[in-house]
Amino acid sequence: MVFDFEKELKVEKTNIPGLLVFDLPVHGDNRGWFKENWQRAKMTALGLPDFGPVQNNISFNATKGVTRGIHAEPWDKYISIATGEIFGAWVDLRPGESFGQVYTTRLDPSKAIYVPRGVGNSFQALQDGTVYTYLVNAHWSLEQKKTYTFVNLADPELGIEWPIPLEESERSEADLHHPMLRDAKPMEPKRTLVTGCNGQLGRAVRAYAEAHGLRGFEYTDIDEFDFSDPAAYDKYDWSLYGTIINAGAYTAVDKAETAEGRPAAWKANAQGPALLARVAKDHHITLVHVSSDYVFDGTADLHSEDEAFAPLGVYGQTKAAGDIAVANAPEHYILRSSWVIGEGRNFVKTMMMLSDRVANPDDQLEQVTVVDDQYGRLTFTKDMAEAIFHLLDSHAPYGTYNLTGSGAVRNWAQIASRVFELTNGNGEKVKPISTAEYFANAKAPVSPRPEHSALDLSKIKAAGYTPADWEETLEAYVNKELGK
């Protein structure tokens, strides 16, 4: 076999998304040849995903005409030829618009191909003693095997022109009986693990996934998976997962200042995210994590994503530590929020209850004091869930994104007054008070609060997601709670 010893390394995209063909420089003389079969730095610079191979396999084909496939496995593969030549056919078996797309080419030692998860591959040996080698980025397991999918080599709908007619080829009994494309099962997506599923954000993520018919989601809480416990990770085959959405956290801001709460906050908000980041890094999992305005001291009127951390209290310190840990996972999204409102106990529901009490003539409550020297915007978990899936689905650049409702910056007393007005028309029953006055007689430790919690939303808007105006969402939220 004669090679072009002078060609440069280059990559060619195909009609199947993510399927890449590489021309490999082969260097040789009268003694034989040498090539860099896989070179991480050079190839990733050309567009090869940094897919993290963990295993190298070799397939020997004794005679010309041996034909294998069409198999789609739940991992990415990089395939090249050691000796001989093959004709290859690839079929996209991932759900979506490209399902059923076919690409064919010949591979010899001077060419290689990257096959993304869910793309079926098949090979026909064109010479005796053909050997091909492939790198994969997951170890075989029984759970992995359950997700394989197949299509028949002889399906006329695929239109594959085999150099050696299939009736003259050597095929396995299993390959003879694979389904036709019309009956082929699309490759299931990698699983998504949602932690803290019973919290406000966890419920919103679940509601979004179910409303949109998303598959492969698993929901856990601390009683099933304590992500701050290193031993808890052993029960998972992490190669099956593509995304972790961490909706779990310690959010008792004042209790974090106590001897009991301090270690609990550090465990949940710092150690837990650090362990998640490690497993995400090791298994190329996208990690989504929720941060807080409490990582800042609140001296700036508006906080951008790149502002330096300056937390005032233990809760903010633990959240900042968690952010730093998560940022070590190459594929991560950190969504920084403030003043979160969702299903379950929250400020808005508390104010609605107090408005009812004030409106009740049999109740002795005449007015409610709420602080007026802390400024920000509400973040509704419905919007947070939408933003998370927007970033994931659009493959936005990894990193940190501020996410709150858009619109005017208000103080807590103004928000409370609006809730009162929407609930019973008694907004004037909210009495503004300073934070110092409010906590003047507190008997338990109180965490310092940032004065300014408004977050700059420019970055997430540039990524294609425009948050809803929080005041409009608030009105809809209250009306829903009132059954209107």
Instruction: Report residue 154 as tokens.
Output: 């002889």
* C-alpha span between 337 and 291 (Å, rounded): 6
Q: How far is CA 196 from the centre of its chain?
A: 15
* Catalytic residue flag (residue 27): no
Phi, psi of 226, rounded to the nearest 5 degrees: -85, 100
| CATH number 2.60.120.10 is the correct assignment for the domain at 10-183 | yes
> What is the SS3 assignment for 365?
coil
* C-alpha span between 274 and 294 (Å, rounded): 19
* Catalytic residue flag (residue 71): yes
Domain ranges of the chain: 10-183, 191-481
Give CA torsion, residues 128, 131, 132, 137, to 10 deg. 140
Contact 73, 117 (CB under 8 A): yes
| Amino acid residing at 398 | Y
Cβ burial, residue 49 (10 Å; 0-12/13-18/19+): middle
> What is the SS3 assignment for 454?
coil
| CATH number 3.40.50.720 is the correct assignment for the domain at 191-481 | yes
Instruction: Report residue 296 as tokens.
Output: 């800042």
Q: Which of 103, 114, 132, 134 is catalytic?
A: 134
Q: Which of 71, 148, 375, 398 is catalytic?
A: 71
Contact 4, 14 (CB under 8 A): no
- Residue 460's nearest CA partner among 295, 375, 335 is 335
Put residue 124 in one of left, alpha, beta given phi > 0 → left and psi -120 to 50 → alpha.
beta
- List of long-range contacts for 92-98, beta carbons under 8 Å, 24+ apart: 92/16, 92/17, 92/19, 92/118, 92/119, 92/120, 93/118, 93/119, 93/120, 93/149, 93/151, 93/184, 93/186, 93/187, 94/118, 94/119, 94/186, 94/187, 95/186, 95/187, 95/189, 98/16, 98/17
Question: In a structure prediction context, what are the per-residue pLDDT tens digits for the chain, which is 484 residues long?
Answer: 555 666 789 999 999 999 999 999 998 878 888 899 999 999 999 999 999 999 999 999 999 999 999 999 999 999 999 999 999 999 999 999 999 999 999 999 999 999 999 999 999 999 999 999 999 999 888 888 888 999 999 999 999 999 999 999 999 999 999 999 999 999 998 999 999 999 999 999 999 999 999 999 999 999 999 999 999 999 999 999 999 999 999 999 999 999 999 999 999 999 999 999 999 999 999 999 999 999 999 999 999 999 999 999 999 999 999 999 999 999 999 999 999 999 888 999 999 999 999 999 999 899 999 999 999 999 999 999 999 999 999 999 999 999 999 999 999 999 999 999 999 999 999 999 999 999 998 888 999 999 999 999 999 999 999 999 999 999 999 999 999 8
* C-alpha span between 180 and 154 (Å, rounded): 8
